[in-house]
């Protein structure tokens, strides 16, 4: 290029927003190059294994580890007795990593071994002798609240009946709990008695939601290492490194500053890595005792047995409306099966009550949850966080109420749907809201009204194949959720001499595509191609603070943070350029790797050249910026009221099915979805997110079922725990409603959880449309459907119960 040509080079405006950008980690993952935790081995590393309980609920009378300790190749064997400073973990601090005197569920950790190989560690576990004394098992939450129920967390006593000498503490793990209620939530707005008095139609039903689990392709694992000074380095798959850094420090009784967490590429999270689990703390104990790095990896069976689940729920909902279709009230009681210990599953009411109070306009709402202890697996957080369960109940009642007053289900929803500008009874303020457009778009693209009427007319006609169509809507946080003191995220951005950017973000990548979308936002600001950026996002010693990957928040919060840092860099660059070209900053812009004249697009100087000039001059400078974004949301008050998110995501999905009434088989034919995503940033990424979410919702609705009988898991394997397989995935037609949120990065909202929420509810409505039979319990496996169709499913009624 000659100098003359260069002078007149015009760079046309271009944008990365809305484009289809392949995920940055895709080539490595597709070609098997990604190094997961499974592929990392440290010099001198030992292998850790855990001995789990052979009983569901029992006292531990004695543990004999002598033979295991004597096995050649074994370095350390530990039990609770070896860790006198053991601290309880979990949301309610009711859980010692190594069990003290008592086991309460099938997966309970009794002892752990660190040995030179996995095989030796396994062999050592077999040499550990444990004597138990069985206790009665509580296998379901209804039994747990009976007056004579055995206590799951009584005041700790030793095997001989004397008080156990636990290090002093006030937690449930130390003191016990005098009843089986782990947590309770009570929320109300309006007056449901008045609401019911104003109602022309009222329905009440009990819904039962089952156990499912995340099934991350990468099983859980961790490597822990202490250096000579006692500092800890962990390779961990956590979704919340900064919160865990603090928590792990507490469990190890050391200063948080001494903990460094490195996250290798994570083989799936979906919420499962939001809490600290016993194996992680045990791995640290082993490493501390062995003075060697210890690696612990789950087997697939262990992944099933010892991972958290989605929260199972028993729910009785009473809803009413007027003849004209106006909703009047909702009364909700749920019984959450807390399992033996408390993790995030118990707190799903935070999200569930939002759906009950605010998805549609409801003047009166009364909500109660009791999460009660049983000897079952315990539930953690899982994409959707209670919303799948709440939506399952609400959206069936929407169809049932509509039918009762003879109104079209579509019209009924539209009549009660929220609009922009609304502030709900719970204090959520909808600044942008494409809800109604979601409903009408999904309905028209799927030809809902016509098919709904046709299928209904077909119900009684001969033939064993029945078609059904059903819809469900959703509301979920889309701009973070202010649960912790800060819901923010920090960014450090640096530019090198070649105009390459390193984006150092607190936001963790768990496969969701955050590094790609954050890169896109930064490159959009700086007028650079996506190839010009490197993302560093996995080391607490380097990256600035972030609250973690949850609540569909990363694109929104980390996105705004990244944009903030990029804007500061741009400001600095333009200031330098304005001086150089003797104009104002407003006259200039960055585009295609150049500083350009904003009005004409004329390229003035290559950005890399400008940066080098800045660097290699007398008053040398680099472009390095930082930004911390805190969303303008607020904490809820004691009554759970307040505008917790900076934006809210909306959606509606229509499910079409074919039911074979001779077998109960359901073929999922098509899913039509319309989602208010604020704005599409990476089209490829958002399509993947929605499609993946639909399939996850499909599994929840139709195939996945973690079978627990009296605390025992019946199917901890992929043969009998049925994930959806490729040929079962339906045709999908997904529309994006761009409501351009004022606070969102480039107008976008979070949508990570949204797509999995509607499926089960819409499927239930489709079954009713196809067959006239309502199903109140998941999953819709062939036998369950067949039973329901043939009158073999007694209608369940759980009498609302409120904890004292």
Instruction: Name the residues that contact another protein, by CB under 8 A.
Output: 119, 123, 662-663, 665, 703, 707, 714-715, 719-720, 722, 725, 727-728, 781-783, 786-787, 790, 792
CA-based Rg of the chain, rounded to a whole angstrom?
28
In the complex with another protein, which residue's Cβ is closer, 542 or 707? 707
Q: Residue 520 belongs to what H/E stretch?
A: helix 514-526
Torsion angle, CA of 236/241/244/246, rounded to 10 degrees?
130
Per DSSP bridges, beta strands 294-297 and 129-134 are unpaired
Shortest separation between residue 720's beta carbon and another protein, angstroms: 5
Contact yes or no for 134/54 (Cβ under 8 A): no
Shortest separation between residue 333's beta carbon and another protein, angstroms: 30
The Cα–Cα gap between 788 and 778 comes to: 12
Shortest separation between residue 137's beta carbon and another protein, angstroms: 20
Residue 431 in tokens: 């600044």
Phi, psi of 511 (to 5 degrees): 100, -5
Phi, psi of 631 (to 5 degrees): -70, 155
Shortest separation between residue 297's beta carbon and another protein, angstroms: 16
Q: What is each CA distance from 650 to 40, 319, 358, 438, 696, in whole angstroms?
A: 41, 22, 11, 7, 18
Shortest separation between residue 722's beta carbon and another protein, angstroms: 6
The Cα–Cα gap between 361 and 421 comes to: 13
Judge whether 753 counts as a catalytic residue: yes
In the complex with another protein, which residue's Cβ is closer, 626 or 715? 715
Find out whether the peptide bond into 476 is cis, omega within 30 degrees of 0: no
In the complex with another protein, which residue's Cβ is closer, 486 or 663? 663
In the complex with another protein, which residue's Cβ is closer, 277 or 786? 786
Out of 515, 704, 743, 753, the active site residue is 753
The Cα–Cα gap between 122 and 411 comes to: 61
Contact yes or no for 298/277 (Cβ under 8 A): no
In the complex with another protein, which residue's Cβ is closer, 496 or 660? 660
Shortest separation between residue 727's beta carbon and another protein, angstroms: 4
Spatial CB neighbours of 42, under 8 Å, sequence gap ≥ 6:
223, 225, 293, 295
Residue 467 in tokens: 């078609």
Phi, psi of 793 (to 5 degrees): -115, 100
In the complex with another protein, which residue's Cβ is closer, 14 or 783? 783
CA 790 to chain centre: 37
The Cα–Cα gap between 286 and 356 comes to: 46
Contact yes or no for 395/758 (Cβ under 8 A): yes
Contact yes or no for 350/477 (Cβ under 8 A): no
Please report the DSSP string for 60-100 in residue order.
EEEEE-HHHHHSTTEEEEEEGGG-TT---BTTTT-B-SS--
Burial of 242 (0-12, 13-18, 19+ CB in 10 A): buried
The Cα–Cα gap between 233 and 239 comes to: 17
In the complex with another protein, which residue's Cβ is closer, 716 or 752? 716
Burial of 161 (0-12, 13-18, 19+ CB in 10 A): exposed
In the complex with another protein, which residue's Cβ is closer, 531 or 663? 663
Shortest separation between residue 55's beta carbon and another protein, angstroms: 20
Contact yes or no for 314/389 (Cβ under 8 A): no
In the complex with another protein, which residue's Cβ is closer, 611 or 713? 713
In the complex with another protein, which residue's Cβ is closer, 184 or 722? 722
Shortest separation between residue 117's beta carbon and another protein, angstroms: 11
Shortest separation between residue 706's beta carbon and another protein, angstroms: 11
Shortest separation between residue 713's beta carbon and another protein, angstroms: 10
In the complex with another protein, which residue's Cβ is closer, 410 or 775? 775
The angle, 0 to 180 degrees and rounded to 10, between the axes of the packed helices 448-458 and 759-771 is 40
Shortest separation between residue 127's beta carbon and another protein, angstroms: 13
The count of other CB atoms within 10 Å of the CB of residue 178 is: 10
Q: Which residues are catalytic?
A: 753
């Amino acid at each position: 290029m000659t100098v003359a040509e260069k002078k007149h080079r015009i760079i046309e405006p271009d944008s990365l927003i809305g484009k289809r950008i392949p995920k940055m980690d895709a080539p490595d993952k597709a070609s098997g190059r990604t190094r997961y935790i499974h592929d990392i081995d440290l010099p001198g590393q030992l292998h850790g294994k855990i001995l789990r309980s052979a009983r569901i609920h029992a006292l531990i009378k004695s543990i004999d580890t002598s033979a295991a300790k004597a096995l050649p190749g074994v370095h350390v064997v530990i039990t609770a007795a070896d860790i006198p400073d053991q601290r309880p973990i979990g949301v309610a601090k009711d859980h010692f990593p190594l069990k003290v005197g008592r086991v309460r569920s099938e997966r309970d950790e009794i002892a752990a071994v660190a040995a030179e190989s996995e095989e030796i560690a396994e062999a050592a576990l077999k040499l550990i002798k444990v004597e138990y004394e069985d206790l009665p098992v509580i296998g379901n939450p209804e039994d747990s609240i009976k007056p004579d129920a055995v206590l799951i967390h009584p005041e700790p006593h030793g095997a001989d009946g004397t008080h156990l000498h636990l290090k002093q503490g006030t937690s449930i793990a130390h003191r016990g709990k005098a009843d089986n209620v782990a947590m309770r939530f009570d929320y109300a707005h309006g007056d449901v008695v008045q609401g019911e008095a104003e109602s022309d139609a009222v329905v009440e039903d009990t819904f039962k939601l089952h156990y499912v689990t995340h099934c991350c392709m990468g099983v859980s694992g961790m490597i822990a290492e202490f250096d000579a000074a006692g500092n800890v380095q962990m390779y961990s798959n956590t979704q919340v490194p900064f919160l865990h850094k603090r928590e792990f420090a507490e469990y190890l009784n050391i200063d948080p500053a001494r903990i460094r967490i490195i996250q290798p590429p994570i083989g799936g999270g979906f919420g499962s890595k939001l809490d600290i689990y016993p194996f992680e703390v045990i791995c640290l104990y082993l490493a501390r005792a062995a003075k060697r790095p210890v690696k612990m990896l789950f087997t697939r069976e262990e992944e099933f047995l010892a991972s958290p689940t989605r929260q199972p729920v028993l729910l009785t909902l009473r809803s009413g409306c007027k003849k004209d279709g106006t909703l009047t009230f909702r009364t909700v009681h749920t019984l959450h099966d807390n399992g033996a210990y408390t993790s995030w599953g118990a707190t799903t009411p935070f999200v569930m009550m939002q759906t009950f109070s605010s998805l549609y306009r409801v003047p009166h709402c009364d909500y109660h949850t009791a999460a009660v202890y049983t000897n079952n697996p315990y539930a953690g957080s899982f994409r959707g966080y209670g919303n799948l369960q709440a939506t399952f109940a609400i959206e069936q009642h929407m169809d049932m109420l509509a039918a009762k007053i003879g109104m079209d289900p579509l019209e009924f929803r539209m009549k009660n749907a929220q609009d922009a500008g609304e502030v709900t009874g719970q204090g959520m303020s909808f600044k942008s809201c494409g809800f109604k457009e979601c409903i009408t778009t999904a309905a028209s693209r799927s030809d809902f009204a016509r098919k709904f009427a046709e299928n209904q007319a077909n119900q009684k006609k001969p033939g064993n194949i029945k078609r059904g169509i059903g819809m469900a809507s959703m509301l979920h946080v889309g701009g973070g959720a202010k649960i912790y003191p800060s819901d923010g995220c920090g960014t450090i951005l640096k530019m090198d001499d070649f105009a390459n950017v390193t984006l150092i973000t607190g936001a963790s990548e768990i496969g969701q595509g955050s590094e790609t979308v954050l890169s896109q936002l930064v490159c959009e600001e700086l007028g650079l191609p996506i190839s010009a950026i490197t993302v560093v996002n996995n080391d607490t010693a380097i990256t600035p603070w972030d609250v973690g990957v949850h609540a569909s928040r990363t694109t929104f919060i980390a996105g705004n943070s990244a944009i903030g840092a990029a804007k500061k860099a741009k400001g600095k660059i333009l200031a330098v350029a304005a001086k150089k070209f003797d104009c104002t900053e407003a006259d200039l812009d960055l585009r295609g790797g150049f500083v350009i004249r904003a009005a004409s697009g004329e390229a003035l100087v290559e950005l890399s050249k400008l940066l080098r000039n800045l660097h290699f001059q007398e008053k040398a400078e680099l472009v390095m910026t930082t930004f911390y974004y805190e969303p303008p949301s607020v904490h809820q008050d004691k009554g759970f009221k307040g505008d917790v998110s900076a934006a809210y995501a909306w959606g509606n999905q229509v499910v079409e099915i074919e039911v074979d009434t001779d077998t109960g088989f359901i073929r999922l034919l098509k899913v039509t979805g319309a989602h208010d995503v604020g704005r599409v940033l990476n089209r490829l990424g958002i399509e993947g997110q929605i499609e993946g979410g639909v399939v996850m919702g499909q599994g929840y609705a139709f195939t996945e079922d973690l079978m627990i009988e009296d605390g025992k898991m019946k199917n901890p394997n992929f043969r009998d725990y049925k994930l959806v397989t490729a040929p079962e995935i339906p045709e999908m037609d997904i529309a994006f409603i761009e409501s351009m949120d004022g606070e969102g990065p480039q107008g976008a909202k979070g949508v990570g959880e949204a797509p999995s929420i509607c499926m089960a509810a819409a499927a239930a409505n489709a079954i009713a449309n196809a067959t006239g039979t309502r199903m109140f319990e998941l999953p819709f496996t062939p036998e369950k459907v067949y039973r329901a169709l043939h009158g073999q499913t007694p209608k369940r009624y759980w009498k609302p119960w409120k904890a004292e």
